[in-house]
Amino acid sequence: MTCSSTITIGGYPLDVMRRTYTVWHHFRPEDRIIRSRKRGQRNPHLQGVPTDPLEFHQLELDFAYSVCADVLRRRLGFAGFTLATLEKEYRRYYEAVCQCSGRLFFTGDPEAAAARADAFRAATLDDWLEALKETVNTSMSRVRRNSREVAEPANILVNIITGSDEPGVSELRAHHGLLGFPCSSLDQMAVALLEVTPGNAVCEQEVSMFVRYQGDTTFDDMRLRTACREPQRQTGSCQDVSMSKGNQDNMSFDDI
């Protein structure tokens, strides 16, 4: 089994780290939570929904760093990542890509690739953000497309965002999971996703697999303070709980 850690914005995957992970620098130790939920409540982008109906009500624990979108947006802003800097990165990316002729970096069927290239040249950042909103709202992703969980998107910009094509120039390659969106850096992609995400939405880095299977001790101090034991194969009577190092329910935006 390959362990992975996924950063999500409002439940949508921003980036995945496999085999090992580092905590994204915008998360803090006080953001840690341990959450009990039913397997039927899994995020389909992460763990996948169980196929056996008998498993739907079984409990399991999530270990994650968790804040609301408004807090993450503010932290990114303090670090210098805003809509204005996203616009600058988009412009640099766009100009570098459009120096190429023909089908740009798009592959596959020549006619379809040419159509994607034309759409790329014509789109503004506002167009991309609108397409990104549709991408999130329809739970479209490259992984779900490749596994045929969802149909090919009709919107050509959504098709590009969730496709596998990306520039061949190393300086333009994405450091995030949305390979076709016209920005390279992880932080600026987070800014873009936050533009189409409600302020009270949950943003997390989920590290459960490393805690369960690789002996990660990051959450041990919190686990010792709870009387709720991690469920095994049976359903239990333990109520769903969410525990955090800090008191996240009473978090003040001034205390970030």
Each residue's pLDDT tens digit, 67-123: 999 999 999 999 999 999 999 999 999 999 998 888 999 988 999 999 999 999 999
Q: Are 180 and 192 in contact (CB under 8 A)?
A: no
104 and 185 share a domain? yes
Instruction: Count the domains in the chain.
Output: 2
Which of 77-81, 148-152, 155-159, 172-176 shows the lowest per-residue confidence on average (mean pLDDT)?
Answer: 148-152
Q: Which of 195, 217, 242 is the endpoint of a domain?
A: 195
pLDDT tens, residue by residue, 196-240: 999 999 999 999 889 888 888 888 878 776 544 555 443 333 333
Which of 16-30, 183-197, 214-228 shows the lowest per-residue confidence on average (mean pLDDT)?
Answer: 214-228
26 and 66 share a domain? yes
Q: Which among 1-5, 37-41, 131-135, 223-227 has the top mean pLDDT? A: 131-135
Say what the pLDDT of residue 217 is: 83
228 and 135 share a domain? no
pLDDT tens, residue by residue, 123-150: 999 999 999 999 999 999 998 888 888 8
21 and 86 share a domain? no
Say what the pLDDT of residue 241 is: 40
Q: Which of 180, 195, 210 is the endpoint of a domain?
A: 195
Quickly state the pLDDT bin for 51 (edges 50, 70, 90): confident
Asked if residue 256 is part of any domain, the answer here is no
SS3 of 34, please?
Answer: strand
Structure tokens at 68: 């609301």
Q: How far apart are the C-alpha atoms of 27 and 30, rounded to whole Å?
A: 8
Taking 80 as the threshold, does the pLDDT of residue 54 lie above it?
Answer: no
User: What mean pLDDT is predicted for residues 154-171?
Assistant: 92
31 and 86 share a domain? no
93 and 60 share a domain? no
115 and 33 share a domain? no
Q: Which among 26-40, 175-189, 204-218 has the top mean pLDDT? A: 175-189
Strand segments, DSSP code E, in the chain are 4-9, 12-18, 32-38, 59-68, 202-206, 242-244
154 and 185 share a domain? yes
**Please, which contacts does 229-232 make with residues 24 or more away whose CB atoms are closer than 8 Å?**
230/60, 230/61, 231/36, 231/58, 231/59, 231/60, 231/61
Taking 60 as the threshold, does the pLDDT of residue 171 lie above it?
Answer: yes
Q: Distance from CA of residue 154 to its chain's centroid? A: 22
Question: Which domain covers residue 134, as residue numbers?
Answer: 81-195
Asked if residue 255 is part of any domain, the answer here is no
